[in-house]
Structure 1
Amino acid sequence: MITTILAAVAGVLLPLGLSEGPFVLSNFRPLDAQYVPDTSPLAAATTPNRGSYVYGRICGTFDLMTCPGGIDPNNTAIPPSIVGIFNSIPHGSFSMQYRQFFQGDPARVRNFSQSMERAAQTFILCKDSFAVDGLIVDMSSGHPGVGFWNQTLPNVTNGATWTQDILWLEPVTECVNTNLTFDYILDSYIPNASVEHYNLTDHGGFSNLTRVQPILNRDGQHIDLIQHAYKGAVWSNLYALLYLNGTRESSFVGATYPLNSSSSLFSDSLGKVSFLSLSYLNTSGSDIEVTCEGYGGQDTANVTNVHVNCGIFLRPPLRTDGGDPRLSDLGSKWSQNTYSCSSATHASIQRVTFSTNSSSDLQSLQITRTLSGPDVLWATEKTDMKIADVDLFWGWVDDQYENNTSLWTVRAPSFYLPAGGTSMWGTFPEGYPAGAHVGAWGTICKSLSLSQGDTAADYSGRTDFAIL
């Protein structure tokens, strides 16, 4: 108490210059800016000679097809007309490049820069906003995302405050509780060992399963991810119930269904954060993803067919016997809730405010941003090609293109990124970094899935326990 009082008195009596006050803004004036190199691991892993990056695109699922605006299926170059449209405002498909790339083989119709999927630095446990090489990263829980920013700071002695409009990509996810849990007892002394026997417990997901077909409102870019997630939950629960030879009438809240490692789920999914297909038990339900996502590969690629990821998310394991959750005791009891989740990516133009006392230190930046962006003209290519055959260019374009017949346009503060050929595979599109959001979702799902394989990073908590 005495220390607290002394600190309070000192704060009042000491000269004003010993405590920090608010920024005092002077008149706005133009200043020279300079590029400030980043020294983070992410920057160290960046391929040099960025000017050598070559954009390109391949169309066609199995047989090569001529891409929109092109003249030859074997020509991967982006037509000047498309470059002109989507480079008319520097906030779109040509505002980004793959961080690591190598030049493709023209003999294999890959005369462009190809991506390299590797992890240089992970920010999964960060909780604030910061600048790294080429990006503004916001890891706050409310509105996480990344902004594309060529890090230049004003050349000043006493610091400065300024604003910039930045292309921002934000992952958006909605989840619905399936009211089913996986419950198990650890039967091995070995940490991270597979769980051989477990129960699927009904908390209403089977016994109260609706008989009404869930709807999906199709209103252009106005999508409702809750509807997608709910539809996925209903169909996933129905197929799981059929696999277990159960019915709504035979099940009840608290009913348990014994399973083992020979089930479609596999026991490797338990004990960590996991991502499963909606048909995780019943492989005959492979069409559920299409039902949840709202499109298939044979649908037309356009502005209304937004890329959506659907799946079952297993939350971190919860110890249910009252013991310490940090200890994997033999015989301890655990439970994991299951959620049906749908995810998409939307772009916006964010006004970011920077403040700094240094012209050479990215770490000293104070960063804030306005969450609601201005209404701008977003566009994507208009084509009659199928989703499986093409990845569409998108971005903020100049107002002169609002009535261009080769484009779908919408004036709005944000824009959901369209589905394309790589949406069918969850991979990074070759030569086309504007579709990297598909690969990012695919990497996350692969890291959390049954067959993790050689993933770029672990988001499951299997090797990074702090995530749990």
Structure 2
Amino acid sequence: MLTVAEVSGLIAAAVMIVQYGLPAALVVILVKYVGTENTAVTWSVVNRTISTTIWPHLLRTDAANTRQVPTRVQIPSWAATAGAALLVLASVVTPLGLHDEIVPGESTLVEFQYVKDPGPWGRVTMPRPNAQFSRQCEVGTVINCPGQYQGVYMAETEPGVWRSLETDENSTINITIPENFTTMFTSATADQGNTVSGLFDIQYRRWKFNQDGLINKGQPYVRGDSRTIGTLITQERILLTEGLIVDMRDNPGIGFRNHTIPVGLEHGGTWTEDITWIEPVTKCADTNLSIELRIENTVDDFSNQNTFSIIDRGAFFGLDVTALESRAWIDNQTLDLFGRAHKAARMHNVLVASSLNISLPLDQSTEPLPKIPVTDTGSASPDMFSISSFDTIVLDQMRGVGGAPPEVPEYSGGNTSIPFVNHYPDGFKKLLALNYSAIAQICRGYYEIGATDNDWRANNITYPAVQCGAVLGTPLQPPNQNISASTYTGIETYQKNLYICASAVRASIKTVTFRYNGTGTLFGNLEAVHIADKVYADEMSKPLWAAEHSYDRAMRFDPLWGIVDNRYHTMGYKDGFYTLHAEKLWLPTSPFLTGNFGESEGYDALAAASGFTRRLGNLYGGLSDLGGPDYSGQHDYTLLERYQRLSHNATTAAQIPSLKMTDGLAAGLVGTKTSISTKYVAWPASLAVDDPASGIPRASVVEYRRVIRYDIRYAIPAFVMLALLLVALVWAVAILCSSRHILRTLRNMYNQTSTGRLAVNTLRPGQGDPQQSSREWVRQDGALALRFGQINVPGGDDFCTVVGGCDDAKADFCPKSESCQRAYDGGNSAPRRPSSDIPPGEKKGIAETSITVIPKQESIGA
């Protein structure tokens, strides 16, 4: 498509063609019909008409000649010609540098309005129910959430049998959120125009009603629901879906925003908003173990010989059984995910060595172990040694790489060579991992290892939720590497690296830059172009995060967390909450990291408390994989391609679990806070959203405006032309100022060298005034009829003849006069003077003539 500049250049070129072509064409017509006999002034006009066209240059006429011409005449003449050519070039090229741009203008407050996602993410999102937020904490022997005890408790009615008992007829399990909790968790986010989402601004995308006789006196209540929509992992960009900003690039995460757009802008605009951001973070450590599949095509039959092997890349160097010992993690909110993954990988490799009968420690001078054939795959992940799915990824719990169940005789049985002491010399507790489940518990941060996955820690802001598992990447070799018959050997070999990873969820506030293109109210015109950490002036300006704790008891509920007002900074143990000034918060842990049955949503409607830890708990395998979307890449080649790019090292492989979790969170959660929210959250907090359809947000919009830009390179011909013009003008002005009569000289020179006047003065010497004004000359001598005899037929008539005169210079025809005599003979005699110029004594014998002839010029050798 042509640009405005290109069209302008084409128009300029067309104008130049017309400017030079039309006069040239008209001259052809003029020459056809002008004839050979016209008044003197007509011949001057004809000469002027021809000389102003390109014909003198094309035909190389006398006027375009440079020989026998002084330099003082050649230079201005050539300069005029070059200037004309340069002007043509500049006229065409100069407009090409023009282009328009849409650029940011001034910042203004404009009206925003809500816009719905018209795609599947908008259609699958259910309307917000007119119901209250609900919270369930019924796990173990604690069935009431903190602050909500209303007469129901758990009792062991007989050995091993626990039942919920009501103390009176008014007893119930109250699952509403207490008023003081509602006030606290809306204190920093509910003011008008605040775009930061709080505890009650994050909801489940889909929901359903549930009912229980003990809960809220049997009244229906809302709980979360889930629905597979479609994976976003293949789209490596920032996406906008209903209620969310989804970043699927290298550092995936989601931001909560119920989308609104500016209205009434001619070209759109850009603005920034502070958004609550949830970021699944994963760090992986390479086990230096690989799984190899060797496929050999046997010629004798129609089967393949498939062999799995373990490839050692230095996995066991520097290891001994003492690597199974560990302190409990106390990294708290300075969470060291890589340290946890690295420690878990070392423990994992010790147990793998036990299963493969490898004695530790190895000799430091020993090369990596030779290829180890796999004979027992029973204890490994089901898909680790699957031929049909070998080109996919596997995210699973830590299970080793096959072989016998690990046994560490140094710590097992009665003949232990290393007496185990459950504490270090400095008094800190010592943990010992004798199975893969214990490794996961230590990686999560448990301080007590048991036969089950129960976390006996008391919930606290200093105990982040961490989940650990194994990632088996895709084959490192491209799947189509042996496609040439000349190089095919019948043997294919593929290797997959095994990583141990630790994942957590981090909350923060991001500054998101939005851009809206166009003037309509289209969701597709809205985009998030930049996401950055919010910058804070000092420590006190950072968010104050609050997280619920469980006092000194083991946790039995998903803790509440969120941003609160600074007036709550003194809260502590007695208040049930701890606070922290920080840019980011690692979400506190939950018993449902392990104590769930594959559900991705909680039992209640409080998505901010339950939605993240449930997804994190099912990240590495679990029951959720049985009915959830397929993240392996087996049925989606585009997904598999991205996994292949990420599987080559531990740093990039860490993106795989984070991408999976981000995709799940995007499907399950939605933000309800708009940029034009005006109402405070009142108690009891409702799931219904009652924001206005339009309003003025707090953020100012930098409105886009159209401006004209120019590429100065295209102006070079014009600058040269202007320089030539400037020199000529300065020179001409200097001459005009220094020569008083230059304009009169110019007029006389042009008049006296014009064709008609020159011919008349030559044919009738002495009979006219050379300096006669044009008006007088046209009325007198300009009316003489001249005939050029050799214009059409060379060698015919005389060159130029005065054939008559007219009283009216505007007459179309002048009558011929009688025949005339030669003005001079053969060009050798001087022109005859008029009789008025001859002395009386010389008039005798001279024939008087009124018509003069310039004879034809004989060619040389005629």
Query: TM tier, shorter chain?
Result: 0.7 to 0.9
C-alpha change, 1:54 and 1:121, in structure 2 (3 Å) is farther
Give the drift of 1:261.
Answer: 6.2
Q: What is the aligned counterpart of 2:236 among 118, 127, 140?
A: 127
Render the CA deviation track for 1:153-196: whole Å, top value 9, x for unaligned. 1222322222211100011111110111111124799xxxxx97
Report the AA paired with residue 459 of structure 1. Answer: Y
Report the AA paired with residue 378 of structure 2. Answer: S
1: distance between equivalents of 2:394 and 2:94? 53
Render the CA deviation track for 1:261-309: whole Å, top value 9, x for unaligned. 6421155234121023223354743211111111251111110111111
1:440 aligns with 2:518: no
Render the CA deviation track for 1:390-411: whole Å, top value 9, x for unaligned. 1001111111111123221110
The answer to whether the 8 Å contact 1:239/1:279 transfers is no
Q: What is the aligned counterpart of 1:102 among 192, 208, 218?
A: 208
1:183 aligns with 2:292: yes
2: distance between equivalents of 1:313 and 1:28? 50
2: distance between equivalents of 1:92 and 1:11? 59
Q: What is the aligned counterpart of 1:422 among 592, 604, 611?
A: 592
Q: Which residue of 2 aligns with 1:157?
A: 265
Q: Which residue of 1 aligns with 2:545?
A: 378
Give the drift of 1:43.
Answer: 1.1
1:242 aligns with 2:242: no
C-alpha change, 1:450 and 1:133, in structure 2 (3 Å) is closer
What SS does structure 2 have at the residue aligned with 1:146? strand
2: distance between equivalents of 1:332 and 1:89? 60
The answer to whether the 8 Å contact 1:320/1:335 transfers is no
Give the drift of 1:249.
Answer: 4.5
1:14 aligns with 2:14: no
2: distance between equivalents of 1:247 and 1:276? 27
Q: What is the aligned counterpart of 2:224 among 109, 115, 119?
A: 115
Q: Which residue of 1 aligns with 2:333?
A: 221
Alignment of 1:254-273 (within 5 A): 254-260=369-375, 262-270=377-385, 271=390, 272-273=392-393
What SS does structure 2 have at the residue aligned with 1:383? coil
Give the drift of 1:228.
Answer: 0.8
Render the CA deviation track for 1:335-391: whole Å, top value 9, x for unaligned. 110111101110111111212134512222242222245421011113326555110
2: distance between equivalents of 1:321 and 1:356? 42
Q: Which residue of 1 aligns with 2:522?
A: 361
C-alpha change, 1:140 and 1:240, in structure 2 (3 Å) is same
C-alpha change, 1:12 and 1:288, in structure 2 (3 Å) is farther
2: distance between equivalents of 1:239 and 1:450? 25
C-alpha change, 1:414 and 1:255, in structure 2 (3 Å) is same
Unaligned segments of structure 2, at least 5 residues: 1-5, 10-91, 153-172, 190-196, 299-304, 407-434, 447-453, 484-488, 537-541, 641-862
Report the AA paired with residue 591 of structure 2. Answer: G
Q: What is the aligned counterpart of 2:313 among 183, 188, 203?
A: 203
C-alpha change, 1:25 and 1:425, in structure 2 (3 Å) is farther
C-alpha change, 1:43 and 1:259, in structure 2 (3 Å) is same
Give the drift of 1:235.
Answer: 1.1
Q: Which residue of 2 aligns with 1:80?
A: 179
Q: What is the aligned counterpart of 2:477 among 319, 328, 350?
A: 319
Q: Which residue of 2 aligns with 1:67?
A: 145
Q: Which moved more, 1:371-380 or 1:210-219?
A: 210-219
C-alpha change, 1:260 and 1:107, in structure 2 (3 Å) is farther
Report the AA paired with residue 276 of structure 1. Answer: D
Q: Which moved more, 1:388-397 or 1:430-439?
A: 430-439
C-alpha change, 1:11 and 1:70, in structure 2 (3 Å) is farther
Q: Which residue of 2 aligns with 1:310?
A: 468
1:400 aligns with 2:479: no
Q: Which residue of 2 aligns with 1:289?
A: 440
The answer to whether the 8 Å contact 2:104/2:269 transfers is no
1: distance between equivalents of 2:436 and 2:314? 21
Give the drift of 1:334.
Answer: 1.0
The answer to whether the 8 Å contact 2:593/2:618 transfers is no
1:138 aligns with 2:247: yes
Q: What is the aligned counterpart of 1:459 among 619, 631, 638?
A: 631
Give the drift of 1:257.
Answer: 2.9
1: distance between equivalents of 2:313 and 2:509? 43
1:35 aligns with 2:114: yes
Give the drift of 1:231.
Answer: 1.3
2: distance between equivalents of 1:397 and 1:68? 18
Q: Which moved more, 1:253-262 or 1:98-107?
A: 253-262
Give the drift of 1:86.
Answer: 1.1
Report the AA paired with residue 400 of structure 1. Answer: R
What SS does structure 2 have at the residue aligned with 1:165? strand
What SS does structure 2 have at the residue aligned with 1:239? helix
2: distance between equivalents of 1:11 and 1:381? 71
C-alpha change, 1:93 and 1:450, in structure 2 (3 Å) is closer
The structure with the largest helix share of the pair is 2
Using the aligned pairs only, state the percent identity: 28
The answer to whether the 8 Å contact 2:318/2:361 transfers is no
C-alpha change, 1:176 and 1:339, in structure 2 (3 Å) is same
Q: Which moved more, 1:351-360 or 1:211-220?
A: 211-220
RMSD: 3.2
1: distance between equivalents of 2:284 and 2:93? 48
Q: Which has the larger radius of gyration?
A: 2
C-alpha change, 1:180 and 1:13, in structure 2 (3 Å) is farther
C-alpha change, 1:312 and 1:114, in structure 2 (3 Å) is same
Q: What is the aligned counterpart of 2:394 among 249, 271, 274?
A: 274
2: distance between equivalents of 1:208 and 1:155? 65
The answer to whether the 8 Å contact 2:240/2:527 transfers is no
1: distance between equivalents of 2:632 and 2:245? 25
The answer to whether the 8 Å contact 2:458/2:549 transfers is no
Render the CA deviation track for 1:433-462: whole Å, top value 9, x for unaligned. 11212232345433xx7994212x121112
What SS does structure 1 have at the residue aligned with 2:332? coil
Report the AA paired with residue 316 of structure 2. Answer: F
2: distance between equivalents of 1:12 and 1:145? 49
The answer to whether the 8 Å contact 1:307/1:418 transfers is yes
Unaligned segments of structure 1, at least 5 residues: 1-5, 190-194
Report the AA paired with residue 394 of structure 2. Answer: S
TM-score, normalising length from structure 1?
Answer: 0.86
Q: What is the aligned counterpart of 2:508 among 326, 348, 352?
A: 348
Give the drift of 1:71.
Answer: 1.7
Q: Which residue of 1 aligns with 2:579?
A: 409
TM-score, normalising length from structure 2?
Answer: 0.48
2: distance between equivalents of 1:462 and 1:386? 44
1: distance between equivalents of 2:226 and 2:490? 38
Report the AA paired with residue 262 of structure 2. Answer: P
1:301 aligns with 2:473: no
What SS does structure 1 have at the residue aligned with 2:374? strand
Give the drift of 1:214.
Answer: 5.8
